[in-house]
Amino acid sequence: MTINDYFTNYYSLISSGDLNDIEEIYSSQSQFKGAVKQQFEMMRQKCQINIQLDNANVLAKTDELLIVQDKITLNADMDGQQIVKENRNLHTLVKEADEWKIHCSVVLPKEQAA
């Protein structure tokens, strides 16, 4: 699976609302997976969302650690109002049982996202 496939799947799960499976993408050691799931559940209660991965780039890689920057486009329908927003995110992935799992993610500030 390529890094683009990995994050396309991740954002597809979020967009579809199938958030029970999102926990399988996160590391068992991540302190953020419950909060991320809750954040997206709350967002989906307020609006319909579709997140499209524009690109994902590996910034650094070791045998056990992967740093990825992505660019996404979020389309939301909130009470008939269309919202389109671009974000860049930085993800840290760790290897667990020979699979890459997200440990943590942050949205990059606009001025830091190159």
CATH of the domain at 43: 3.10.450.50
Residue 58 lies in a domain: yes
- How confident is the model at residue 23, as a pLDDT? 83
Residue 114 lies in a domain: no
- Does residue 111 surpass a pLDDT of 70? no
Using a 10 angstrom Cβ sphere, with 0-12 exposed, 13-18 middle and 19 or more buried, the burial of residue 63 is exposed
Q: What is the pLDDT of residues 2-48, one digit of tens each?
A: 999 999 999 999 998 888 888 889 999 998 888 888 888 888 888 88
DSSP at 22:
G
- How confident is the model at residue 86, as a pLDDT? 95
Domain span at residue 76 reads: 3-107
Q: What is the pLDDT of residues 67-89, one digit of tens each?
A: 999 999 999 998 889 999 999 99
Total count of domains within the chain: 1
Residue 113 lies in a domain: no
- DSSP class per residue in 38-98: HHHHHHHHH-EEEEEEEEEEEEEE-SSEEEEEEEEEEEEEETTEEEEEEEEEEEEEEEETT
Cα 43 to its chain centre, rounded Å, is 14
